[in-house]
C-alpha cells in the first residue's frame, strides 16, 4: 500500500440488472473479499448467500440482554420485597419466583429489546453522520434504478488497478474511485 | 395430467387400520370391564387417547383455516397434509368421546356431576350439591349430550367443506375455490374457537366440576396448536424422506414451522402460567384446590408425584423446547427440529395427563376426606395403547385419503410460491 492508496475509500461500480449484480456478487464472494458491499434500491432475495454473509450477530446481544433482564428482574423484586422492606402480601412468601414473575418477564423483554436495538446500532456502526460514498455523484441512483458493488480499500486484497480491472471483468458499467 | 399414481406409502393404510382396531378393541374392553367394576381409570384411558388426537386434529383444522385466511404463501404444500388428516377429527370424536358421553355407565364413571349418587370429599352426594344445582342450567345431562353432538356437527361440517373445495380445485382448476375456502375459514375460525373452548370445558374442565377457569379454552387452543405443529414437523420429516414431499420441503419451510412452534410454546406457557398465577394470587379455595391436589399429598402434606409432573411441564414442556427453539440452527436443521417436535409431543401428553387424571376420591379415613388418584400406575400403558389405537385409525384414514386425492395441491394458485418458499 502506498500513500496515495491510503486516502482511497474503495472502488465502486454500477450494474443495470439484478441478475448482473447478483452474479457479480457471487464472483466477488468467491474471490475471497471480506470488506465490500452491495447497494440496491430494494432487497434482493438470496443476496445474503450470494455475498456469503454470515448471520447477523445481533441475536447474541438480544440473548445477553434477555438474560441480564431476567437476573435484574429477580434481584429487583427480591431486594424490594424481601430484603429492603420485607412485607407479607396476601399470605405469600416474601420472595418466590411466582408472584413477581410478570415483573421479571417484563424486565427480560425490555432488556432483550435494548440488546437488539443498541446491538444493531453497534454492529451497523451507528450513529454516523457522513460516509465517503455519499460524495459519489451517482450514488443517489442506487435508491432508484441502479445497483452498485463497492470494494473497500481496507480489504487486504485491495489494489487500485487490479480491483478496477476485476470489477470491469465482472461486467460493471461505471467504475469510480471513491476518495475519503 | 389429472391424477398421478398413489404413492407407495399409501399401501400401508390397512396395517395401520388393523393396528388401530386391535388396540382400540383392547382398550375399550378394559374400559368396559373397569366400568362394570366401578373403576374409571380405564375409561380415562379412552378419554386421554382420544383427546390427544382430537387436540392434534383441532390444531390442524385451525392451522388450515388460519393459513387460508392469511393467504400464507408457504402453506399449500404443508396444508394438503392437514386437509388429508382432519377427516379423522369427526371419526375420533365418534369412536372416542361420543360413546363415553352417550353410554350412561361411562358418563357416570368419568363425569362425576352426571352421577347423583357419587360421594364428594365432603361426604355429601352430587345429588345434594348446592354448587352443582347452581350450575345445572349448563351442567345437565341433556344439554351436555346436545353439546357433544354439536361439536361433532360443527367440526364435521368444517372439515367436509375445507376438504371438498380444496380437492375440487385439483381437477377443475378453478381459482374461485380459493376465495370460497377463504370465506369458509373466516367464518369457521370464530365458530371453531367457541366450539373448542366449550369442548375443553365439557371434556376436561368438567372432570372436576367445582373448579372453573375462564382461560381453559385458550389453554386447550395453545396445546392443540403446539401438538399439531409437532405432528406436522414429524410427518413432513417422514414425508420428505421417502414420501411425497421428497425434495420439496426446504429449509425455509422448516424455519417457518420452527418459528410457529417457538411462538406457541411461549403462548402455551403464558396461558398456563397466567391461569396458575391468577388462582395463586386470588387464593380462593374453590379455585386453589385444583392446583393443591396436583402438588400436595392430602394425607401427608408432602409434595406428591403430581408435583413432579408439574415440574416436568415447566422444565420439559416449556424451558427445554423454548431455549432450544431460540436458536436459528434448531429451526432449520431437520434432525434438531424433529427432536424438539418429539419433546413437544411427549410434553403435550403429560399436560393432558396433568389435566385429566388427578381426581379427589372420597376416603373418610384421611384428614381431608379424600385421596388423590396417583400418577404412576400401569394404566399409563393403557393410555399409550389408546393413543396407538386412535393414532392407527387417524394414520389409516390419512394414507387412504392420500391414495385417493392429490398429495400436492397441484392447482392451488400459491403452490409455486409454496414450493419455492425462501426465508
Residues A87, A49 share a domain: no
Based on the structure, what is the number of domains in chain A? Answer: 2
Q: What ipTM was predicted for this assembly?
A: 0.83
Of all residues in chain B, the percent with pLDDT exceeding 90 is 92
* More confident site: B233 or B8: B233
| Reported pTM | 0.92
- The alpha carbon of residue A150 is apart from the nearest alpha carbon of chain B, in Å, by 25
How is A78-130 classified by DSSP, letter by letter? Answer: HIIIIIIS----TT--SS-SSTTHHHHHHHHHHHHHHHHHHHHHHHTT-S---
Q: Other C-beta atoms within 10 Å of A35: how many?
A: 14
Cβ contact, residue pair B328, A59, below 8 Å:
yes
Q: Which of A25-29, B259-263, B361-365, B372-376 has the lowest mean pLDDT?
A: B361-365
Residue A90: per-residue pLDDT:
84
Per-residue model confidence as pLDDT tens digits over B25-46: 999 999 999 999 999 999 999 9
B259 interaction partners in chain A (CB closer than 8 Å): none
Mutating which of A44, A62, A66, A90 best tests the B interface, going by the most B Cβ atoms within 10 A? A90
Residue range A119-137: average pLDDT?
90
- Cα(B312)–Cα(B375) distance, integer angstroms: 13
CA B365 to each of CA B39, B120, B289, B370: distance values in angstroms, whole numbers, following the listed order: 20, 14, 19, 8
CA-based nearest residue to B24, from B36, B35, B14, B32: B32
A59 interaction partners in chain B (CB closer than 8 Å): 328
Residue B405 has pLDDT above 50, yes or no: yes
Residues A104, A22 share a domain: no
Cβ contact, residue pair A99, B326, below 8 Å:
no
**pLDDT level of residue B3 (50, 70, 90 thresholds):** low
A91 interaction partners in chain B (CB closer than 8 Å): 283
Nearest CA in chain A to B420: A45
Cβ contact, residue pair B280, A99, below 8 Å:
yes
Cβ contact, residue pair B277, A102, below 8 Å:
yes
CA B92 to each of CA B22, B53, B58, B234, B392: distance values in angstroms, whole numbers, following the listed order: 15, 7, 11, 20, 11
- The DSSP output letter for B317 is I
Listed residues A101, A123, A145: the one ending a domain:
A123
Interface residue B319 vs chain A (CB under 8 A): no
How many CB pairs lie under 8 A apart between chains A and B? 19
Domain of residue B76, residue span: 8-419
Q: Spell out the residues 6+ positions from residue B193 whose beta carbon is closer than 8 angstroms to its own.
A: B217, B221
Residue B4: per-residue pLDDT:
66
Residue B422 has pLDDT above 90, yes or no: no
Q: Which of B277, B326, B328 sits opposite A101 (nearest CB)?
A: B277
Interface residue A102 vs chain B (CB under 8 A): yes
Q: Is B3 inside a domain boundary? A: no
Per-residue model confidence as pLDDT tens digits over A69-96: 999 999 999 999 999 999 888 888 999 9
- Cα(B212)–Cα(B134) distance, integer angstroms: 13
Q: Is B1 inside a domain boundary? A: no
Contact between B96 and B389 under an 8 Å Cβ cutoff? The reply is no
Residues A62, A117 share a domain: yes
Per-residue model confidence as pLDDT tens digits over B388-401: 999 999 999 999 99
- The alpha carbon of residue B423 is apart from the nearest alpha carbon of chain A, in Å, by 8
Listed residues A123, A141, A167: the one ending a domain:
A123
Please state the length of chain B. 423
Q: Is B126 inside a domain boundary? A: yes
Residues A119, A64 share a domain: yes
Residues A95, A7 share a domain: no
Residue B331: per-residue pLDDT:
96
Per-residue model confidence as pLDDT tens digits over B202-213: 999 999 999 999
- The alpha carbon of residue B122 is apart from the nearest alpha carbon of chain A, in Å, by 26
Q: Is B96 inside a domain boundary? A: yes
* More confident site: A57 or A2: A57
Residue A173: per-residue pLDDT:
86
What number of helices (H) and strands (E) belong to chain A? 6, 4
Q: Which of A46, A63, A92 sits opposite B422 (nearest CB)?
A: A46
Residue B77 has pLDDT above 60, yes or no: yes
B326 interaction partners in chain A (CB closer than 8 Å): 63
Residue range A124-144: average pLDDT?
89
Which of 268-297 (B) contact A at CB < 8 A? 273, 276-277, 280-281, 283
Cβ contact, residue pair A98, B276, below 8 Å:
yes
Residue B298 has pLDDT above 90, yes or no: no
Residue B123: per-residue pLDDT:
87
Residue range B405-411: average pLDDT?
94
Residue range B166-192: average pLDDT?
96
Q: Is B2 inside a domain boundary? A: no
* More confident site: A56 or B228: B228
CA B82 to each of CA A140, B64, B151: distance values in angstroms, whole numbers, following the listed order: 49, 7, 19
- Cα(B90)–Cα(B98) distance, integer angstroms: 10
Per-residue model confidence as pLDDT tens digits over B121-132: 888 999 999 999
Q: Other C-beta atoms within 10 Å of B174: how many?
A: 13
CA-based nearest residue to B49, from B416, B398, B384: B384
Q: Is B369 inside a domain boundary? A: yes
Based on the structure, what is the number of domains in chain B? Answer: 1
Q: Is B68 inside a domain boundary? A: yes
Residue range B341-361: average pLDDT?
96
Cβ contact, residue pair B277, A98, below 8 Å:
yes
Domain of residue A88, residue span: 58-123
Cβ contact, residue pair A90, B281, below 8 Å:
yes
- Cα(A34)–Cα(A28) distance, integer angstroms: 9
Interface residue A93 vs chain B (CB under 8 A): no
Residue B1: per-residue pLDDT:
36
Residues A133, A119 share a domain: no
A46 interaction partners in chain B (CB closer than 8 Å): 422
- Dihedral sign computed on CA atoms, order B46, B52, B56, B59: positive
Amino acid at each position: 500500500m502506498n500513500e496515495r492508496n491510503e486516502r482511497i475509500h474503495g472502488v465502486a461500480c454500477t450494474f443495470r440488472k439484478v441478475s448482473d449484480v447478483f452474479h457479480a456478487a457471487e464472483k466477488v464472494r468467491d474471490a475471497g473479499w471480506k470488506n465490500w458491499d452491495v447497494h440496491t434500491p430494494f432487497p434482493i432475495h438470496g443476496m445474503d448467500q450470494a455475498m456469503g454473509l454470515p448471520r447477523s450477530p445481533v441475536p447474541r446481544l438480544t440473548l445477553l440482554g434477555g438474560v441480564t433482564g431476567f437476573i435484574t428482574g429477580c434481584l429487583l423484586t427480591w431486594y424490594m420485597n424481601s430484603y429492603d422492606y420485607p412485607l407479607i402480601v396476601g399470605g405469600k412468601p416474601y420472595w418466590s419466583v411466582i408472584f413477581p414473575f410478570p415483573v421479571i418477564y417484563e424486565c427480560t423483554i425490555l432488556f432483550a429489546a435494548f440488546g437488539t436495538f443498541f446491538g444493531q446500532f453497534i454492529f451497523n456502526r451507528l450513529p454516523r453522520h457522513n460516509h465517503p460514498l455519499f460524495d459519489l455523484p451517482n450514488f443517489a441512483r442506487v435508491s432508484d434504478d441502479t445497483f452498485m458493488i463497492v470494494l473497500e480499500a481496507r480489504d487486504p486484497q485491495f489494489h487500485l488497478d487490479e480491483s478496477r480491472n476485476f470489477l470491469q471483468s465482472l461486467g460493471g458499467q461505471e467504475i469510480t474511485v471513491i476518495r475519503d | 395430467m389429472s391424477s398421478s399414481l398413489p404413492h407407495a406409502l399409501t399401501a400401508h393404510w390397512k396395517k395401520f387400520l388393523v393396528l388401530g382396531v386391535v388396540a382400540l378393541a383392547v382398550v375399550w374392553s378394559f374400559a368396559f370391564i373397569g366400568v362394570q367394576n366401578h373403576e374409571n381409570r380405564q375409561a380415562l384411558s379412552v378419554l386421554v387417547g382420544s383427546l390427544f388426537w382430537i387436540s392434534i386434529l383441532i390444531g390442524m383444522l385451525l392451522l388450515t383455516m388460519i393459513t387460508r385466511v392469511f393467504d400464507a404463501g408457504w402453506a399449500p404444500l404443508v396444508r394438503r397434509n392437514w386437509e388429508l388428516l382432519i377427516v379423522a377429527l369427526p371419526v375420533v370424536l365418534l369412536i372416542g368421546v361420543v360413546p363415553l358421553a352417550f353410554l350412561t355407565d361411562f358418563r357416570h364413571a368419568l363425569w362425576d356431576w352426571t352421577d347423583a349418587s357419587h360421594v364428594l370429599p365432603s361426604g355429601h352426594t352430587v345429588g345434594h350439591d348446592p354448587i352443582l344445582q347452581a350450575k345445572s342450567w349448563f351442567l345437565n345431562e341433556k344439554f351436555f349430550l346436545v353439546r357433544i353432538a354439536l361439536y361433532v356437527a360443527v367440526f364435521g361440517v368444517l372439515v367436509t367443506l375445507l376438504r371438498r373445495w380444496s380437492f375440487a380445485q385439483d381437477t377443475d382448476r378453478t381459482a374461485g375455490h380459493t376465495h370460497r375456502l377463504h370465506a369458509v375459514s373466516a367464518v369457521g375460525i370464530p365458530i371453531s374457537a367457541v366450539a373448542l373452548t366449550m369442548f375443553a370445558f365439557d371434556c376436561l374442565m368438567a372432570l372436576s366440576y367445582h373448579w372453573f377457569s375462564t382461560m381453559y379454552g385458550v389453554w386447550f387452543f395453545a396445546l392443540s396448536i403446539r401438538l399439531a405443529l409437532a405432528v406436522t414437523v414429524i410427518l413432513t420429516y417422514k414425508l420428505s424422506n421417502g414420501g411425497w414431499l421428497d425434495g420439496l420441503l426446504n429449509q425455509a419451510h422448516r424455519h417457518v414451522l420452527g418459528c410457529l412452534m417457538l411462538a406457541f410454546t411461549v403462548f402455551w406457557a403464558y396461558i398456563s402460567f397466567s391461569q396458575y398465577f391468577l388462582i395463586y394470587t386470588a387464593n380462593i379455595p374453590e379455585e386453589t384446590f385444583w392446583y393443591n391436589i396436583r402438588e400436595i399429598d392430602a394425607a401427608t402434606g408432602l409434595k406428591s408425584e403430581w408435583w413432579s409432573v408439574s415440574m416436568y411441564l415447566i422444565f420439559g414442556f416449556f424451558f427445554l423446547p423454548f431455549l432450544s427453539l431460540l436458536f436459528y440452527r434448531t429451526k432449520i436443521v431437520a434432525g434438531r427440529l424433529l427432536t424438539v417436535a418429539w419433546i413437544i409431543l411427549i410434553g403435550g401428553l403429560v399436560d393432558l395427563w396433568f389435566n385429566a387424571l388427578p381426581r379427589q376420591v372420597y376416603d373418610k379415613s384421611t384428614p381431608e376426606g379424600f385421596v388423590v388418584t396417583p400418577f404412576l400406575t400401569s394404566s399409563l400403558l393403557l393410555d399409550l395403547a389408546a393413543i396407538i389405537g386412535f393414532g392407527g385409525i387417524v394414520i389409516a384414514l390419512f394414507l387412504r385419503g392420500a391414495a385417493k386425492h392429490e398429495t400436492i395441491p397441484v392447482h392451488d394458485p400459491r403452490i409455486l410460491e409454496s414450493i419455492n418458499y425462501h426465508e
